[in-house]
Structure 1
């Protein structure tokens, strides 16, 4: 079977989708940073830890949970640790027994950022769509996710 490439019209839809998502992410990230002092990466890590049992995860589990490579996560955790948002426990040269733990300052920063973050999500995403469009986005997201290998 010959390989079929996207048509010009399909590529226009693809580019519009990608460019719109990136523009939304940029605005949400900028507002999060300016209103709360947290980067989207900070918020992602803090969210995962706040939902984890005991507000702690092994670095490998945290990386899988948020979909980051371990090296990216390690560098980001170092910056967050220096700011007192998280701490790493059990790092005696062997990270297999280590945990990333949500600190009180991290929990407070996450909770303080939640309302501003959710406000911009409502303003730029939820309010831009009708209930039927939101349902369609949910269906489209599920269909796309189902096509992603190993997801």
Structure 2
């Protein structure tokens, strides 16, 4: 082993493992709840949220992928599935004709409005209400620092776009 490696101490290792398993279980639970109640995945829900926050409820597919920190191919496959369900539609950008826009349909908006209260309650029940306000704020600061550090190599990404 490399003697220059800065190994995690026992406390750091416990925290790291708690983050890994907690994040996995949280995302799986939120995804399961949306699938059971509304037949959509957490990723599909997040696409609807991102579109709902934009003027005209639309955005370029590349920007949508960046906003979700997903690959463009993954978002394309997901949007294709959502398009078949009538939740979104794609069209060419009127600005340059090359870009592809994803737009939320009225059915997509109705689904989002129906699913949002249950999803937010799940986020509260499974995360927010388990932490003090100070701990939750600290978690946000830490994850913002992680995001800032990791997107340095991707300045075109719109992950940091403020939400409405």
Same fold at TM > 0.5: yes
Give the TM-score normalised by the residue count of structure 2.
0.81
Structure 2: segments with no counterpart, 5+ residues: 155-164
Partner of 2:157: none
Alignment of 1:1-151 (within 5 A): 3-9=4-10, 10-90=12-92, 96-150=98-152
Q: Which 4+ residue blocks in structure 1 deviate beyond 4 angstroms?
A: none
Name the structure with the higher helix share.
Answer: 1
Cα–Cα, structure 1 residues 136 and 125, in superposed 2: closer, same or farther, change >3 Å? same
Q: How many residues are treated as equivalent by the alignment? A: 148
How far has the Cα of 1:19 moved from its partner? 0.7
Distance in structure 2 (CA, Å) of the matches to 1:7 and 1:65 = 31
Give the superposition deviation at 1:119. Answer: 0.6
Q: Distance in 1 between matches of 2:118 and 2:73?
A: 29
CA–CA separation in structure 2 for the residues paired with 1:3 and 1:96? 49
